């Protein structure tokens, strides 16, 4: 590529880099596709889900053959990339990414950590785990999110622990380019069911592509060492309102008291917050329990409205119950006011968390 600050040297840096792509759905497929074509040497692609025909409108790496074959997204991405750029090494991880496994999964065979984490995640619980690991290990993390016609992205170059001597600071800290982390900006995850998800509200392909490619551009800047070019603002687009904005967030680190990047308490990575799952013996069901800073109050009516197009929904003051078909399988989802959920129709925690993230969100 003949670009200022890129050249053969930049291409070589890309070849020697490892990018960890968390989530290989709408954003993740675009990211994986572009990073493979750009020649990033090693991609670790993690996703817990299978491909459905309704994904094809936005998940550009997949096709009808993948749906028919019933292969997991991470594996399908690996196969497709092998045909796009055979020089790229792909590690496919078909698993739920959570606080118990992420530090192992971002570690390469030689013991080094991934050079960057790129966000294709569909829920904030996983994002906060990712943010914790990025800050703890000093790994750049490119946030992206999209739903409906709206998307948002932001490049995090995490601060080193206060008091770290110059020699041990990452290059971006020494260059004065370190940024607030995602929890400096959003202290808390939206409560479960607060916002629509891509599976309840839909998302248009263009906003996914725009946000994902923005993430890719920031990734290429970071991996080639063009730190001055990294956008310090949070980009927000609404394609239906013809609205593009860049919000200044740089002061969030100095002015705030971030639990994660300033106080170095990794609450999500330590498993203090987030959900825990229990397989309910003999019931073919999994219970998910949310642990959050504030007691969550679920808005059953709002959630019910979003679930009705997907199946029968019954609501009373204590619980919401919905029959949902996902990937051809029937599930019964029961939500309680405190955010607890039971997903019936599976014994697998990963499947239950996937159903919850897709249809309730959070």
Partner 1 sequence: MSDTITIQIPTPLRPQAGDNATVDVTGSTVGEALGALTQQFPELGGRLFKEGGNEVNRFINFYVNDEDIRFLENLDTPLKGGDELSIVPAIAGG
Q: Which residues are annotated as catalytic?
A: 198
Q: Token pair for residue 175?
A: 């260059």
Residue 190 in the binding site for partner 1 (CB under 8 A):
yes
Residue 192 binding: pick among partner 1, Zn ion, none (C-beta 5-8 Å cut-off by kind): none
Helix (H) or strand (E) holding 329: strand 329-336
Backbone angles phi, psi at 43, to 5 degrees: -115, 125
CA distance 211 to 205: 10
Closer residue to Zn ion in complex, CB, 156/355: 156
Q: How far apart are CA 324 and CA 332, in angstroms?
A: 6
Nearer to partner 1, 33 or 123 (CB): 123
How buried is residue 100: exposed, middle or buried, by Cβ count under 10 Å (0-12/13-18/19+)? Answer: exposed
Q: Which residues contact 233 (CB under 8 A, 6 or more apart)?
A: 154, 246, 247, 248, 249, 250
Residue 181 interacting partner from Zn ion, partner 1, none (CB closer than 5 to 8 Å by kind): Zn ion
Q: Should residue 344 be labelled a site residue for partner 1 when binding is judged by CB under 8 A?
A: no
Residue closer to partner 1 by CB (options 25, 170) is: 25
Number of residues that bind partner 1 (CB under 8 A): 52
Q: Does 261 sit near Zn ion (CB under 5 A)?
A: yes
| Cβ–Cβ under 8 Å, residues 255 and 249 | no
Q: How far is the CB of 161 from Zn ion (least distance, A)?
A: 12
By CB under 8 A, the residues from 26 to 55 that bind partner 1 are 26-28
Distance of CA 69 to the CA centre of its chain: 25
Q: Which of 192, 200, 201 is nearest to 362 (CA)?
A: 192
When binding is defined by CB under 8 A, the residue of 35, 185, 223, 258 that contacts partner 1 is 185
171 binds partner 1 (CB under 8 A): no
Q: What residues line the site for partner 1 (CB under 8 A)? A: 23, 25-28, 119-124, 127, 144-152, 185-191, 194-198, 201, 203, 233, 236, 238, 241, 243, 245-249, 251-252, 255-256, 294, 361-362
């Amino acid at each position: 590529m003949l670009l200022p600050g890129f050249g053969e040297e930049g291409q070589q840096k890309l070849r020697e880099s490892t990018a960890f792509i968390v989530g290989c759905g709408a954003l993740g497929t675009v990211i994986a596709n572009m990073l493979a074509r750009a020649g990033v040497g090693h991609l670790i692609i993690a996703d817990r889900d299978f491909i459905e025909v309704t994904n094809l409108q936005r998940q550009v790496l997949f096709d009808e053959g993948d749906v028919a074959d019933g292969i997991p997204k991470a594996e399908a991405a690996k196969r497709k990339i092998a045909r796009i750029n055979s020089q790229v090494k792909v590690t496919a991880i078909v698993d739920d990414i959570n606080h118990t496994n992420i530090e192992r999964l971002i570690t390469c065979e030689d013991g080094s950590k991934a050079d960057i984490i790129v966000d294709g995640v569909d829920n904030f619980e996983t994002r906060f785990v990712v943010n914790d690991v990025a800050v703890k290990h000093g790994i750049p993390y490119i946030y992206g999110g999209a739903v409906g016609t709206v998307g948002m992205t932001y490049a995090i170059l995490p601060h080193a622990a206060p008091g770290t001597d110059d020699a041990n600071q990452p290059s971006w800290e020494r260059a004065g380019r370190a940024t607030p982390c995602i929890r400096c900006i959003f202290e808390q995850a939206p409560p479960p069911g607060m916002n629509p998800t891509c599976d309840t509200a839909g998302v248009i392909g263009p906003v996914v592509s725009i946000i994902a490619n923005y993430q890719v551009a920031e990734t290429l800047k970071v991996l080639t060492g063009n730190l001055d070019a990294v956008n310090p603002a949070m980009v927000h687009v609404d394609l239906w309102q013809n609205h593009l904005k860049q919000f200044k967030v740089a002061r969030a680190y100095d002015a705030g008291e971030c639990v994660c990047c300033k106080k170095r308490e990794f609450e999500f990575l330590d498993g203090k917050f987030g959900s825990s799952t229990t397989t309910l013996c003999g019931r073919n069901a999994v219970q998910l329990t949310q642990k959050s800073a504030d007691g969550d109050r679920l808005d059953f009516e709002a959630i019910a409205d979003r679930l009705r197009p997907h199946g029968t929904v019954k609501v009373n003051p204590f619980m919401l119950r919905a029959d949902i078909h996902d990937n051809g399988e029937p599930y019964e989802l029961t939500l309680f006011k405190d955010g607890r959920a039971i997903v019936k129709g599976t014994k697998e925690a990963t499947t239950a968390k996937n159903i919850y993230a897709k249809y309730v969100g959070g």
